Structure 1
């Protein structure tokens, strides 16, 4: 009889414990969901991009055309990189020695990762560029600004000045048709010594820029005059810039692109 009573009491105790545990779990439904929400919020805050001081970088771009400044502001606000392309003849140099080397360092120091620069060097004439639809290479890079030296030394004594100007218009019009937000800035190639036709080409380019209300970077202001033999100190034997010439030219461009 005692054994039977012990068994009955044991079964009753087990039933009470099971029922109590089930009741406790059913009355606390929110206990498992809270930690997941807290962890999610913590991860989101940790991965958030730091806010960019837009005005700080726009101050450096004070000299830029208005449309370029607006595009830079848009890129900064969306945490994207503003891309500048140097487009020109051999006069702008190569990846190892040219304008790009000096300008990249200067731009990186001020704009940090928010502005990047690349170059496209074209060895033929403006007529060849248009005929061969070379602008596709430029469009593929999706630049926001193009600083364009329109191959004037390549066109020299090969393409008539009015045709060069017409080709320049075609290049910019066809590019902006694909990239409506791109800004073109014009500049001449390097100064050379004792030339005849070449200064007239450059003068025509400057006049065209004025007529079209385009920014023209007249870096010839810092070169020795074309009739000054010391200009050769900045040139190689092929009348393209040497290291001193690129430094002179790039300093001028840096002063424009980075307003202190």
Structure 2
């Protein structure tokens, strides 16, 4: 009889051990399954966030001028940088800073890099003697775009309008030959508040460039007329003040989808 109860006790202990093991294995599997689902959910959230971010950047790039869009797409895919070189005088330093800040706000820092070549008082004839690589020497590698402001104010009483026009087309050609993938834009000098003849020269240059099918950043279409022009320039009548520079950057922002 004792043996019978001993066997019963042993069987009960064994059943308890097995049952407990099955129970805890089941609980452990439940925990693992829950953790797995949570992990998958977290990864899904990360992937969705990444996809959303990628789509947002791609949509922004799609708003850029087509001549700049390919460079931006390539830079994005390769974690590279889009390099834009501004060449000009007077306003070029301040405009470059405005453009850099605007691009940084939209694309984040370092995706676009703006470099500047301030030509000071150089006129178009002297510019024509320069090698294009020397004008873009601050660029790390090759430029993706060049924005050139013709030197009409420096040329005043020194260089004919026709020669300024020719030098501008020569520079576009030099850039195209040396950097065939680079976009080329012309940002015309702004109108003067006290030299009407200079405004005529600007309009002549604008018409000439459009005939040559050179892309012009036409911010002057938003420039005021008459006496209001004095509100956008300094004492010399043509160097942009803050309000004048704002007209320029507002135009670029709208055209390039930087708003």
Q: Deviations over 1:35-79 (max 9, x none)?
A: xxxxxxxxxxxxxxx899665334334454323211211111111
TM value normalised by structure 1: 0.70
Superposition deviation, residue 134 in structure 1 = 5.7
Partner of 2:86: 86
Aligned to 1:185: 185
User: Deviation per CA, 1:130-155, whole angstroms, max 9, x where unpaired?
Assistant: 12436523156121011111112112
> Which residue of structure 1 lines up, in the alignment, with residue 66 of structure 2?
66
* Contact 2:82–2:113 (Cα < 8 Å) also in 1: yes
Paired residues for 1:38-77 under 5 Å = 55-77=55-77
Structure richer in helix, relative to its length:
2
Helix, strand or coil at the partner of 2:193: coil
Equivalent-residue separation in structure 1 for 2:203 and 2:213 (angstroms): 15
* RMSD of aligned Cα (Å): 2.4
Q: Which moved more, 1:178-187 or 1:229-238?
A: 229-238
Q: In the superposition, relative to structure 1, how do residues 154 and 233 fare at CA in structure 2: closer, same or farther (>3 Å)?
A: same
The question of whether the paired residues in 1 share the 8 Å contact of 2:83 and 2:112 is answered with yes
Distance 2:177 2:102 in 1: 31
Partners of 1:177 and 1:52 in 2: CA distance: 39
Work out whether residues 139 and 179 of structure 1, in 8 Å CA contact, stay in contact via their aligned partners in 2: no
By relative contact order (CA 8 Å, sep 6+), the higher-ranking structure is 1
Structure 1: 5+ residue runs without aligned partners?
A: 1-49
* 1:114 alignment counterpart: 111
Partner SS, residue 90 of structure 1: coil
Instruction: Report if aligned partners of 2:85, 2:145 keep a CA contact under 8 Å in 1.
Output: yes
Q: 1:212 Cα shift?
A: 2.7
Provide TM-score, normalisation by structure 2.
0.70
Structure 1 residues 71 and 125, CA, compared in 2 at 3 Å: closer, same or farther?
A: same
State the 1:219 CA deviation: 1.2
Q: Mean Cα displacement is larger for which, 228-237 or 131-140?
A: 131-140
